[in-house]
Amino acid sequence: MMSSNQALGILLQIYQSLLVVALAPLLTGWVNQCRAWLQNRSGPGVMQPYRTLRKLFHKDAVIAYNASLLFRATPYIRFGCMWLAAAIIPIIAVDLPFSPAADVIALVGVFALARVFIALAAMDIGTAFGTLGARREMLVSFLAEPALLMVFFTASMISHSTQLPRIVEALAQHQFVLYPSLAFAGLAFVIVLLAENARIPVDNPATHLELTMIHEAMILEYSARHLALVEWASSLKLFAYISIGIALFLPYGIAEVGAMAGNWGSALPLAIIALLVKMVLAGAALALLEALLAKMRIFRTPEFLGTAFLLAVLGLLIHFLLGA
Amino acid sequence: MVGAFPLDIADAIIVSLMALGLMGLALQHSPHLITNIIFPLGAIASLALAATGFWALGEPVSHTVLPLGLPGLPLHLSLDPLSAFFLILLGGASFGVSIFSAGYFKSMPGNTLGLLCLEYHLFLASMALVLLADDAYMFMVAWETMALSSYFLVTTDHHVPDIRKAGFLYLLIAHVGAIAILLSFGVMQGGHGIGAYTFAAMREAHLSAFWASVAFLLALFGFGAKAGLLPLHVWLPEAHPAAPSPVSALMSGIMLKTAIYGILRVTFDLLANSLNGQQWWWGVLALALGLITAIFGVMFAAVQGDMKRLLAYSSIENIGLLLVGIGLAIIFHVYGKNTLAALSLTATLYHSLNHAFFKSLLFVGTGSILHATGERNMGRMGGLIHQMPWVAVLMLVGVLSISGLPPFNGFVSEWLLLQAFLLSPGLPNSYINMLIPVAAGVIALAAALAAYVMVKFYGVIFLGQTRGEAREHAHDAGIPERIGLSWLALACVVLGLAPVYVVRQLDLVTQMLVGKGLGNATPGWLFLAPVDMERASYSPVFFLLAVLGVMLVTALVVHYFYHGRLLRGPAWDCGYPEQTSRMQDTAEGFGQPIRRIFEPFFRIESELPGAFDTHPRYHGRSEDRLWYALYLPVKRITEKLSSWASLLQHGRIHLYLAYTFVTLLVLLAFV
């Protein structure tokens, strides 16, 4: 027999997953809209990503003659990975039944799996831009991934666990303490977020200028439903990253399943409102950051990401030195 | 009472492996019998060896004394959980490789094949004997047999001068290492006379801290030479490409692990009495060397153009990771944190097993590619996924495993290792506490770079358009090759999906080495939780089902609500009309960013075309600085010394008689 807590947990799990999948394009739309406003344009509106997705799903897919099965499977794999990531991060509630399946290290692994597949798919057609994109993506990630892992390690050291729900509990539900190590980790995390989500200054999501693109170069050969899934997965990834940032650095308001059993009528709406407010603010902040920065040369990116990696290691060292 | 001890069965299998080798030599006039019968029989023997190891894992330790050896120096064998574990590794991986070999060596001429068959099975048998040896004499005999048989295997194509050179380098470093191991045993037996050469006597010997450290350092040097530890790694990238691919697989997948076995045996078993709080620096040394080796290996792997050299450098990286695990285990053990030591050891053993399977898989896969294309240079391949779908799919499993991606096996061991790092705070030594975060960072960096390397490896070989001259004639692997590859790939998947079960078996080994098992916090098989569920957990089955489930549902929803129409057309590529296969990245091109970022670590020779060259040519080589900074000076000194020594040699008998006379006079003066 399932206890009511477990049943509630599973319900919440399904609810969170569907909510995140549905909301992710909205976040992308909001960031784009904010960017448009900051650039003094009126912008296409926050619903534009949904319209794009709808259009893409209706089109007939065109792929190159020599595209292999790997190329066709990758959008689905990537979408599955991002969905899993969104399912294990405590976004509206902690203690979801899925979360013990993967801790933060496995979460980094999920992102890596998606990335390796998209890089391989980019090389599958054998075009100049595809391999260029794959090479640059792997270049960005081999520095960003360890930095992300170090950020997680700092948080894990503080909370004595690599489980995200435990980290959130330790950081949110105990007394308020300032952790100097987390400050370094936070800075590193922002850099990783920009790099991993193909944002300025590392990449430009709006560009089709061949020599500057990374992510766009990889997905040039995708069209229709494949492209729609890739784009949707990218939105999900951005959503997941911002959620991780919230969980690590602003974990206030995320509901607990156990505590919710009694009064979930009030805890759940509160959690959703908290989520929406944080997302609106984070999206606006991201747009502002992008408006203020300039795209850097690709050869400068290793230095930029190396800084993130060193900051994160420094954060971990500070934790060891100060115990906080 | 069991009729036969596992050890007796293991002995019988080893003898039958040797017999199979001899039969191969005898059958050299009918090569098809060798490939169709001897190699499959050898594979079955390997499987039996793995089964015996599996059986012995839970049994009490068994010993035996063979009626062989020198007078008064009989050969001792024993089978304890540590040996049993490595027997499983040996048998499991060599089963796949032997089946593969049955197909791979089909086209080889009979006399070469007969010799190869003998050396191949002797190599397997001697590796098994290394694992079973219970005295220094037996160990050294088996160790040298292993070195010699693998030397002859490496130089199978001995008419190529480069291969002879590579073989010589391998033999040289193997022997320098063997001398160090011999000296280490000499120190450990502690001058107790002739009876003290058995491992049992060495365990009892009470060494002072100084001599224990000497023994450890000698063992680390000796086994490190075999494992490819920096700076003794130079033979790996030469010998692995030179050897036939199944031999590279055995050497990289299994033989390197015998060195890991040796380090574990000496440190945690033979020197167990001397391993106490004073020896924390052993662990730090191993950890530091491991980190340097790991990062060095992966960096060089990233810039290679030869697919087998790339894999050889990747083996160096993995050996580094294994040594990091051993170093961490030593540190935890000397400070009495045995559960954590067990965790690090579990990670090490698990990674040994994983590496044996995925590296063998990738090496034999390169063999298939070599047969199909006749090329080792990745820059002339491309698009092989269309001509070799079997090899491509099975090698994809190996590539994902070695990149440490969930839910495959490489991820599990890396996960366990990182968990061990995260549990490290609270060690009484503050220097070590400072080292740990840096070390964790380096491990993370090496793991991420490994993914880079493997995307390059797979992407350049299998994906894209065919480079260079058309390789339309490239054919997929034959049936035995497919079975061998599938077995190795299956092991990667199973080891990735059933970590809970594997870790429970590994507990038997860590119990023996550090007196603690890991256990599992949860009773079920679904969640791997090394310490407790609150601390960390991982469920690969859940993981796989979730991703697959979402993929399936998404595909169904998309096809049902919209449509599944698919058209084929020429590649878009931003509308550029003239696309040739030469516009793709070559292996060098894909590695270029790494070469640029880590430029100071490489010795780069490059030749760039000028703006007005009529025949522009680009040429670049990234070489190992250590070769120039360490090996060539040693070589020059050796040459100088031997040229001085040769001044005495004139080949004239009366001069030699004069030397004897002078020596006698000098000696008389002393007496």
Nearest C-alpha neighbor of B348 from the set B409, B415, B417, B408: B417
Q: What are phi and psi of B377, to 5 degrees?
A: -80, 115
Mean pLDDT (whole number) for B567-587: 81
CB contact under 8 Å between B584 and A126, yes or no, is: yes
Measured at the CA of B153, the angle between CA B150 and CA B154, to 5 degrees, comes to 90
pLDDT of B263: 94
Residue B135, SS3 per DSSP:
strand
Task: Choose the closest CB to B405 out of A57, A116, A319.
Answer: A116
- Scanning A273-302 for CB atoms below 8 A from B yields 299, 302
Beta-carbon contacts of residue B608 (< 8 Å; ≥ 6 apart): B618
Interface test with chain B among A69, A70, A113, A208, by most B beta carbons within 10 Å: A113
Q: Sort out which chain B residues have CB atoms less than 8 A from A79's CB and list them.
A: 550-551, 554
Is the Cβ pair A80, B411 closer than 8 Å?
no
Question: Which B positions 106-165 lie with beta carbon below 8 A of chain A?
Answer: none
Q: What is the pLDDT of residue B522?
A: 58
Chain B contact for A212, CB < 8 A? Answer: no
How far A284 CA sits from the closest chain B CA (Å)? 30
The pLDDT of B527-538, averaged and rounded, is 78
Quote the minimal CA–CA distance from B568 to chain A in Å.
5
Distance between CA atoms of residues A241 and A194, nearest Å? 10
8 Å CB contact of B573 and A70? no
Residue among B93, B543, B565, B205 nearest A106 (CA) = B543
Q: What part of B 367-386 touches A (C-beta under 8 Å)?
A: 382-383, 385-386
The alpha carbon of residue A210 is apart from the nearest alpha carbon of chain B, in Å, by: 8
> What average pLDDT values come out for chain A (324 residues) when binned by 10 residues?
68 86 92 91 90 90 90 93 88 78 89 94 88 90 91 87 83 70 90 89 75 83 90 93 88 64 66 87 92 85 90 86 69
Over residues B222-235, mean pLDDT: 91
B574/A129 CB distance under 8 A: yes
Query: Does the structure show a pLDDT above 70 at B453?
Result: yes
Beta-carbon contacts of residue B286 (< 8 Å; ≥ 6 apart)? B220, B263, B323, B324, B326, B327, B330
Cβ-Cβ contacts under 8 Å for B534 (sequence gap 6 or more): A161, A163, A166
Q: What is the pLDDT of residue B305?
A: 87
Distance from CA of A33 to the nearest CA of B (A): 26
pLDDT at B521 over 70: no
B-chain residues near A101 (CB < 8 A): 527, 537-539, 542-543, 546
Q: Can you give the pLDDT at residue B192? A: 63
**Which of B411, B543, B595 best tests the A interface by mutation, with the highest count of A CBs <10 A?**
B543
Task: Tell me, yes or no, if A5 comes closer than 8 A to chain B by beta carbon.
Answer: no
Residue B52's identity, in one-letter code, is T
* Residue B624 backbone class (left: φ over 0; alpha: ψ -120 to 50; beta: rest): beta
* Closest by Cα among B395, B403, B404, B408 to B458: B395
State the pLDDT at residue A1: 43
Which tokens in the block code for residue B424? 């490290």
CA distances from B363 to B16, B248, B252, B524 (A): 26, 6, 8, 36
- For B529, the closest chain A residue by CA position comes to A100
Looking at CA atoms only, how far is residue A85 from chain B in angstroms?
10
Listed by number, the residues of chain A in 92-151 with a beta carbon closer than 8 Å to a beta carbon of chain B are: 98, 100-103, 105-106, 109-110, 112-113, 115-116, 119-120, 123-132, 134-136, 138-139, 141-143, 145-146, 149-150
Residue contact A313–B464, C-beta within 8 A:
no
Q: B537 vs A100: CB contact, 8 Å cut-off?
A: yes
Q: Which residues of A touch B434 (CB under 8 A)?
A: 317, 320-321
User: CB B455: neighbour CB atoms within 10 A?
Assistant: 27
* Terminal Cα-to-Cα distance of chain B (whole angstroms): 65
The pLDDT score that the predictor gives to residue B64 is 85
* Whether pTM exceeds 0.80: yes
Residue B408 at interface with chain A, using a CB cutoff of 8 Å: no
Residue of B434, B444, B597 with shortest CB distance to A149: B444
Tell me what pLDDT residue B2 has. 47
Distance from the Cα of B448 to chain A's closest Cα (Å) equals 5
Q: Which residue has the higher pLDDT, B225 or A165?
A: B225
Residue of B nearest to A222 (CA): B572
Distances (CA, A) of B463 to A131, A205, B404: 10, 26, 21
Contact call for B550 and A80, based on CB within 8 A = yes
What does the pLDDT read at residue B1? 37
Give the pLDDT confidence of B105-155 residue by residue, as tens digits: 888 887 888 899 999 999 999 999 999 998 888 999 999 999 999 999 999
Chains A, B: CB pairs < 8 Å: 266
A126:B590 CB<8 A:
no
Distance from the B404 Cα atom to the nearest Cα atom in chain A, whole angstroms: 8
Query: Does B36 score more than 80 pLDDT?
Result: yes
User: B340 pLDDT exceeds 60?
Assistant: yes
Q: Suggest the residue from B298, B384, B415, B445 to mutate for an interface test with chain A (most A CBs closer than 10 A).
A: B445
Closest CA–CA distance from residue A173 to any residue of chain B (Å): 16
Residue B260 · residue B304 · CB < 8 Å: no
Asked if B404's CB is within 8 angstroms of A109's CB, the reply is: yes
Higher pLDDT, B198 or B227: B227
Distance CA B302, CA B283 (A): 29
Distance from CA of B362 to the nearest CA of A (A): 17
Residues 6+ apart with CB under 8 A from A58: A224, B562
Q: pLDDT tens digits, residue range B304-313?
A: 889 999 999 9
Tokens standing for residue B558: 């998309």
Q: Which of residues 531-550 of B touch A (CB under 8 A)?
A: 533-539, 542-543, 546-550
Q: Say if A227 is an interface residue toward chain B (CB within 8 Å).
A: no
Strand partners, B62: B79
Judge if ipTM > 0.90: yes
Cross-chain CB nearest to B570 (options A65, A101, A139): A65
Asked whether residue B98 carries a pLDDT value surpassing 60, the answer given is yes
| Predicted local confidence at residue B349, as pLDDT | 94
Residue B445: closest C-alpha in chain A: A146
Query: How is residue A65 annotated by DSSP?
Result: T
Contact B399, B385 (CB under 8 A): no
Among chain B residues, CA nearest to A74: B551
- Average pLDDT on B503-514 reads 87
- Picking from A109, A157, A210, the nearest residue to B425 by CB comes out as A157
B454 — contact with chain A (CB < 8 Å)?
A: yes
